[in-house]
Amino acid sequence: MQVAEKIQSLEHLSQVELVGALDKYLGAERRLLGCFILYLIEFDRRKIFRELGFSSSYQWMTSGLGLSESSAVRRTNAARIMVRFPHLAEKIFSKILNGQLSVMVLSMIFAHMNNENCVELIENISGKNRLEVEKFLANRIEGYHAMQSTRAWMRILPGPSKPSESSEISEISEVSEHSEASSQHVQNEVFFEAKSNQMPAPAAPATQVPGPAIRLAVTLVGEGARDLLRLRELYPYRDPSQIINDALGLMRKARDLPASRVPKAIQRQIFARDGNQCTFVSDDGRRCSERGRLQVDHILPVAKGGDDRAENLRLLCAAHNQLMAERHFGKDFMRDKVTSAKH
């Protein structure tokens, strides 16, 4: 039956029947969501995503199942809360089923929960919507508004670009004016404003560079704000985009070549050869798409006679590096090794 025909077939339903059907399907949706979270806990515990060619449960949900990033994060956070606080798992599951808790509000309190306040937080957010939870957290947790207002805004621009400070100023001002949390709730916010005497304009516009461009607006607070102000003092005539670009370059270089016994020159060769991507391939032929947290792995481990030649090296993400180690040495051995390293 086509969608239009299905909708038309519902016209004969009475108000009571229509409301009853919606209530029934909503209840079924909540039960399915609760069960999904329980299965996700076991899925993540076994790290089954590795065998499927993914670096995390999050990546499996977004790339494999097609969930949005926010939906995957909320489900992950709900699952982690139930794992971290097992004495609350039954209560949380029940409240999800009856509609008193949503994965959205659970995700809102995830970063603020600890053993001392977990029971209080769950009880106080039960039955509340997003705005009510935000008000509660603002009164309960010091600095909550500051964290909530630190939201990034990004727009990817096609083709080459020639950014100027004036364009960045207008974009940032526009975003800050329409932010849900106004600047009065945030201390030490930094905005690039045209009339600011502390931030002189650059002597010349940034050099045109090929490739994609990203226009970014962020709110920095605390140390981040002070660090950027200090960099502006050190480089008063450098465009803000150049400062950020240099900082990102340093971070990329530090992350691209992880601490390893393998010489840096060979590491660069491996990264170039493997295309800066994990090389693990699942049984069904799917190559892991992870391009972060990459590690140089020995195909034949050094403990089994392997060497540091490029032919014996490959890029793996952290999850698949651990998986290959478990295949070589066994899960029990690797678990004991990790445990001993923590002590």
pLDDT of residue 237: 72
For domain 264-342, the CATH class is: mainly alpha
**Dihedral over Cα of 64, 65, 71, 77: its sign:** negative
Q: Which residues of 250-271 are buried (b: 16+ CB within 10 A; e: fewer)?
A: eeeeeeebeebebeeeebeebb
292-330: pLDDT as tens digits: 878 999 999 988 998 989 999 999 999 999 999 999 988
CB neighbour class for 329 (10 Å; exposed up to 12, middle 13-18, buried from 19)? middle
Inter-CA distances, 58 with 76, 208, 212, 328, Å: 7, 36, 26, 26
pLDDT of residue 168: 38
CB neighbour class for 30 (10 Å; exposed up to 12, middle 13-18, buried from 19)? middle
Question: Which residues, listed in sequence order, are joined to residue 287 by a DSSP beta bridge?
Answer: 281
Under the phi-then-psi rule, with left for phi > 0, alpha for psi from -120 to 50, and beta for the rest, what region is 85?
A: beta
Provide the mean pLDDT of the chain: 80
3-state secondary structure at position 11: coil
Inter-CA distances, 214 with 160, 242, 269, Å: 10, 13, 29
Q: Find which of 37-51, 160-174, 193-207 is predicted with most confidence, using mean pLDDT.
A: 37-51
Confidence of residue 204 (pLDDT cuts 50, 70, 90): very low
Higher pLDDT, 173 or 224: 224
pTM over cut 0.85 = no
The stretch 107-120 carries a mean pLDDT of 92
Name the phi and psi angles at 297, rounded to 5: -110, 145
CB neighbour class for 319 (10 Å; exposed up to 12, middle 13-18, buried from 19)? buried
241-267: pLDDT as tens digits: 888 888 888 777 666 666 667 888 898
Closest Cα partner for 80 from 100, 116, 56? 56
What is the residue extent of each domain of the chain?
14-141, 153-256, 264-342
Residue found by looking up tokens 């481990």 in the block: 301
pLDDT of residue 333: 83
pLDDT of residue 139: 85
pLDDT of residue 274: 94
Tokens of 153: 């805004």
The stretch 275-285 carries a mean pLDDT of 94
Q: How far apart are CA 298 and CA 188, in angstroms?
A: 47
Q: How far apart are CA 324 and CA 330, in angstroms?
A: 9
Look at 101-110, 212-221, 318-327 and tell me which has the smallest mean pLDDT.
212-221
Closest Cα partner for 79 from 13, 142, 34, 30? 34
25-35: pLDDT as tens digits: 999 999 999 99
Rg (CA), the chain: 25
